[in-house]
Amino acid sequence: NEILRMENITKIYSNGITANKGVYFSICESEIHALVGENGAGKSTLMKILFGLEQPDDGEIYLNNSRISITSPSLAIKNGIGMVHQHFMLVPSLTVAENVVLGLEPRNKGFFDYKKAVAITEELAQKYNLFVDPNSIVEDLPVGMKQKIEILKALYRGAKILILDEPTAVLTPQETVELFNQLMHLKNSGHTIIFISHKLNEVKQISDRVTIMRNGRNVGVFNTSDVSEND
């Protein structure tokens, strides 16, 4: 059941590097889809295009078979696409609850309701099994927690498709196990996860399908269940 498709995506940066060369990429509803390739293969570029952070030189994006245009992150968010970065986009001096609602609930205008922000955060945390203390100051938290807050933030903005850029790079083995459990939970609640990684062995444990990129091209898509453990 395809939810989103990128067709013929080409991106040439101003320095002349062609990071994506006619890339086709398709994801289904409720799947964990890994995007794998060595450093420089063009994975981040493709996902930046999907999140509206870069504009392609050619190609189209279809959401539920309708062509969409994603010229900014806010348009990506409106289309139900969220992104969790390797380097987080959180405001360190604010609380978890403030970060979750930031930008959506008006602030400094006399009617920012902190209690409401806490309630929203607790409800989301409960619903998605992403437990964090809404009152903690973000800069005091370990990196695994910051990642959870970014995921909560994206979910609060209505993300159905969640892009995670090398999410395990910053995590301990214990935090990685926890993240994988949370991703399974999100998948089971109908979300689609795009998991960028350069480690095929790691993503095989958790993903349904894998798209492999090399040299700016999509060189293959396969079902994880078809791959043997030592490939």
User: Which residues of the shown chain bind ligand ADP in the complex (CB under 6 A)?
Assistant: 13, 15, 17, 19, 37, 39-45, 53, 72-74, 77, 83, 85, 89, 103
Distance of closest approach, residue 176 Cβ to ligand ADP, in angstroms: 20
Closest approach of Cβ 104 to ligand ADP, in Å?
8
Minimum CB distance to ligand ADP smaller for 74 or for 205:
74
Looking at beta carbons only, is 2 or 58 nearer to ligand ADP? Answer: 58
Q: How far is the CB of 174 from ligand ADP (least distance, A)?
A: 26
| Shortest reach from residue 10's CB to ligand ADP, in Å | 12
**Which distant-in-sequence residues (6+ apart) come within 8 Å of 212 by Cβ?**
36, 37, 200, 218, 219, 220, 221, 222
Q: Least distance in Å: CB of 1 to ligand ADP? A: 27
> What number of CA atoms fall less than 13 Å from residue 60's CA on the CB side?
7
> What is the rounded CA–CA span in Å between residue 164 and residue 186?
13
**Identity of the residue, 2 or 38, whose beta carbon is nearer to ligand ADP in the bound complex:** 38
**What DSSP line would sit under 105-140, residue for residue?**
B--SSS---HHHHHHHHHHHHHHHT----TTSBGGG
Note whether 114 and 97 are within 8 A (CB): yes
